[in-house]
A and B are shown apart, each in its own frame.
Chain A
Amino acid sequence: MNFKKPTTFKKSAISALIAPLLISGGFLALSSNVYANDSEELEKLRALVQELDQKVRVLDRKGEIAAEEAAAKKKETPVLVAGDKGFALKSADGNFEYALKGLFQLDYRDFQDDGITNTNQAEGFTARRIRPTFQGTLFGKYDFRFTPEFGEAVNRAQDNGNSSRVIDAYVDARFQPYFKVRAGKFKPYVGLERLQGGGDIKFIERSYVSNNILPNRDLGVAVYGDVLDSKLTYALGATNGVADGSEGTTLLDTNDDKDYAARIFATPFKGSDSVLEGLGIGIAATYGDSKGVASTGLAGGYKTPGVAATNFFTLNAAVVGDGQRTRWTPQAYYYNGPFGLITEYAKVSNDVRRGANRGEFESDAWQVAGSWLLTGETASFKGVKPKNAFETGKDGWGAWELVARYQQQEIDSEAFAGTGATQFASRTTSAKSAKTWGGGINWYLNQWVKVAVNYEQTSFENGGGGTALNPKDRDDEKVLLSRLQFQF
């Protein structure tokens, strides 16, 4: 222990204040009775000063104790945060947190049909995503997220629209950075663009890779973590299994077999000065047995970039799973200054049958998408925070970003082999391939509000229209998509 020397009359600042009192008191005493050099009087004054000194010291000490208690209490008082990242209530030690977040997207779709009589290209407003999220942390290591979806359903053709549902409901246990467990309904660790937040994606709609081949969300459990100084992430998961590009329900699985997913993703130059600092590259795969699964659980329908009411490819309703289903997807991104690039490839192979016709149904897709921030912000896998937010009457114009993408999807010829009574898909309702180029502009008014406009033009080849006797290619899809997004 190092006790400090006690403060004395001479040293005490308080006493210094009192000293003039003593002097003036003494002076008054002397002036009142200049001849009475009475030691008794001086003793009284001394006692008075000592008493006053004690009182001041006590007041001082009480102030000190009150300050200590206030500081201690502050450490225990929960913190209410209402700021640019939403609302949160946190325990003082940070071990508990409850946060409310939200994502709202109002879209307008305008198909440039040029007189094409394609009735499925309905135009108009749609609330693409309405997602309040309640998330938080318990005991410092258990995270939870609960997100209902009140916006447009994944695919109007399947769900008749407006299917309110739980889109995310999971718990994360962060035992170690290299060992975490997630359980519930979540995005399986497979597709790169799928793992980007719905409010952070560069285009209004994700690519064929995400929307048509790789799983969207599924029910199950995953083990994941970061190793090698967070330069390598891995994930292993087991889920019920979903149709290509689809989102699982919260219901019991339709068969006994599960889908298994594995993914590794490396950012080898992370934290370095290299121009490759923003490079990430990885590969993921899923494996499952789809025996007995109905066609809607295999490839329920491949969507167009404009999410037209009729998909550009649909398996015949009589097709069922007949064996193993595998998907694999190499993937990469690169970010350097204002420039961003994301690319991925995915292929699905599924043993199927229609009656006695057995075969392997295969489809693959890929995309390359680039982005350029015109206003000097740094691009990343996550959202954009403008350097100068847009405010009327002020200089800032927010962040502006140009985006461009090419994507295509191809279905293997075997899907169309055979007769109308045996083939897996009909050329009159399904095209063999879709090729799309698109471009757009994103305006981030601030970190919460975004306005986006995309134009995407798709050509469909080898089917998708006409009649059984005279099949022809589905008409090109030219769609202007626009979005107003609020996210906090």
Chain B
Amino acid sequence: MKTFFLSLSALVLALANPVAATAAEVTLLNVSYDPTRELYQDYNAAFAKYWLAKTGDKVTVKASHGGSGKQGRAIIDGLEADVATLALAYDIDAIHEKARLIPKDWQKRLPNNSSPYTSTIVFLVRKGNPKGIKDWDDLVKPGVSVITPNPKTSGGARWNYLAAWAYAQRHNGNDEAKTKQFLSKLFKNVPVLDSGARGSTTTFVERGIGDVAISWENEAFLALKELGPDKFELVVPSISILAEPPVTVIDKVVDKRKTRAVATAYLEYLYSEEGQELAAKNYYRPRLEAVAKKYEKQFPKVNLVNIDDEFGGWQKAQKTHFADGGTFDEIYQK
């Protein structure tokens, strides 16, 4: 009798896990934020080629894109992502806090706090810069229409908000009340709140709405590349923020799907010379010094603040500004 049940249990376990670790064909799901579509389209192809040459295994990487916050919540709600490549660390922290799918110290597992590339926030204006926009204080002037997504759902929007906050603090002697007034005026000039950065780009570029879009640097460059400098111009503000989009494997998923090795290699390859080249080509600032030097002229020099020094890290920034009852709720009038 015992033998029967032991055999049955062994059969259950063996057949319930049909994806063997030695599978020659593997599929990964990369759940990412909005503007990384082009980067990961290129990178997924490069990694598949690399992995095939290295191991003989065929890997197909599927990608899902959307507002960073929404994407993080989707993983928490059960979307089986092998890797998450989101806009900010807070959205990945939430995957640990709310679903325990990854360890608390996930950010220590890869170099540079698990951020293989960086970016920043710039302005995209229409050709000729008809409203004469040069810096953040131009965005609060009456009659200037500003496009930025919703910080409640978009990681890029939160970087935008914090960059504006940092500017306002410096220009108002760290007077928080005045800073809030500044942000309030800015958001009064926002006619449409998209849920993600790509939606905002669509609003500004394709729908022709607004005088200026507060944008990821890579997204702004891409719009210039696609539509040409005869349509838009890039304006670098006097101060911006160092955006460090992080990456992680989702431990519970890769262990369940037996994809840890390939998922880890997928993220590690982002730090390789080829990975860094692809990041730079897609207008993300590379970490690798050699590649950064090669693309030095591509990226304007910007005076950058960082999230830890300026805002005490993402946990604090989220709680202060974007959680329910935070400063964004205070200043934003629907």
Chain A residues within CB distance 8 Å of chain B: 1-8, 12, 54, 57-58, 60-62, 64-65, 68-69, 173, 175-176, 178-179, 181, 221, 223, 238, 256-258, 260
Query: B15 at the A/B interface (Cβ < 8 Å)?
Result: yes
A238's contact among B4, B15, B201, by CB below 8 Å, is which?
B4
B145-A54 in contact (CB<8A): yes
B8-A62 in contact (CB<8A): no
Q: Which residues of A contact B1 (CB under 8 A)?
A: 256-258
Q: Which residues of B contact A257 (CB under 8 A)?
A: 1
Number of contacts between A and B (CB, 8 Å)? 74
Closest residue of chain B to A51 (Cβ to Cβ) is: B143
A1-B227 in contact (CB<8A): no
Query: B239 at the A/B interface (Cβ < 8 Å)?
Result: no
Given the known interface contacts A1-B222, A256-B1, the answer about A57 and B209 at a Cβ–Cβ threshold of 8 Å is: yes
Closest residue of chain B to A176 (Cβ to Cβ) is: B18
User: B76 to chain A: closest CB distance in Å?
Assistant: 14
Query: B289 at the A/B interface (Cβ < 8 Å)?
Result: no
User: A218 to chain B: closest CB distance in Å?
Assistant: 16
B206-A65 in contact (CB<8A): no
B206's contact among A6, A62, A173, A175, by CB below 8 Å, is which?
A6
User: A301 to chain B: closest CB distance in Å?
Assistant: 29
Bound together, the chains give a CA A260 to CA B3 distance in angstroms of 14
Interfacial residues of chain B within 201-230, with CB under 8 A of chain A in the complex: 201-203, 205-210, 222-223, 226-227
Query: B6 at the A/B interface (Cβ < 8 Å)?
Result: no
A69-B195 in contact (CB<8A): yes
User: A140 to chain B: closest CB distance in Å?
Assistant: 10
Closest residue of chain A to B4 (Cβ to Cβ) is: A238
A65's contact among B8, B192, B205, by CB below 8 Å, is which?
B192
Query: B38 at the A/B interface (Cβ < 8 Å)?
Result: yes
Interchain residue pairs with CB less than 8 A apart (19): A1-B37, A3-B201, A3-B227, A4-B205, A5-B227, A6-B205, A6-B207, A8-B208, A12-B208, A54-B191, A54-B209, A57-B207, A57-B208, A61-B203, A68-B195, A175-B15, A176-B18, A223-B12, A256-B1
5 closest A-B pairs by beta carbon, nearest first, are A179-B15, A58-B191, A3-B226, A175-B16, A6-B208
B8's contact among A68, A238, A256, by CB below 8 Å, is which?
A238
A1-B226 in contact (CB<8A): yes
User: B229 to chain A: closest CB distance in Å?
Assistant: 14
A6-B227 in contact (CB<8A): yes
Q: Which residues of B contact A8 (CB under 8 A)?
A: 208
Q: Which residues of B contact A2 (CB under 8 A)?
A: 226
A7-B206 in contact (CB<8A): yes
B223-A3 in contact (CB<8A): yes
Interfacial residues of chain B within 1-56, with CB under 8 A of chain A in the complex: 1, 4-5, 8, 11-12, 15-16, 18, 37-38
Chain B residues within CB distance 8 Å of chain A: 1, 4-5, 8, 11-12, 15-16, 18, 37-38, 145, 191-192, 194-195, 199, 201-203, 205-210, 222-223, 226-227, 231
Bound together, the chains give a CA A258 to CA B209 distance in angstroms of 74
Q: Which residues of A contact B8 (CB under 8 A)?
A: 221, 223, 238
Given pairs A6-B231, A238-B5, 15 additional interface contacts (CB within 8 A): A1-B38, A4-B206, A5-B227, A54-B145, A54-B191, A58-B192, A58-B209, A62-B192, A68-B199, A176-B18, A181-B12, A223-B8, A223-B12, A256-B1, A258-B4
Bound together, the chains give a CA A58 to CA B37 distance in angstroms of 26
Bound together, the chains give a CA A65 to CA B206 distance in angstroms of 14
Closest residue of chain B to A56 (Cβ to Cβ) is: B209
Q: Which residues of B contact A260 (CB under 8 A)?
A: 4
A65-B194 in contact (CB<8A): yes
Bound together, the chains give a CA A1 to CA B206 distance in angstroms of 12
Bound together, the chains give a CA A16 to CA B40 distance in angstroms of 39
B205-A3 in contact (CB<8A): yes
Bound together, the chains give a CA A370 to CA B4 distance in angstroms of 40
Closest residue of chain A to B18 (Cβ to Cβ) is: A176
Bound together, the chains give a CA A179 to CA B210 distance in angstroms of 57
Q: Which residues of A contact B208 (CB under 8 A)?
A: 6-8, 12, 57
Closest residue of chain A to B191 (Cβ to Cβ) is: A58
Bound together, the chains give a CA A4 to CA B226 distance in angstroms of 9
B191-A3 in contact (CB<8A): no
Q: Which residues of B contact A3 (CB under 8 A)?
A: 201-202, 205-206, 222-223, 226-227
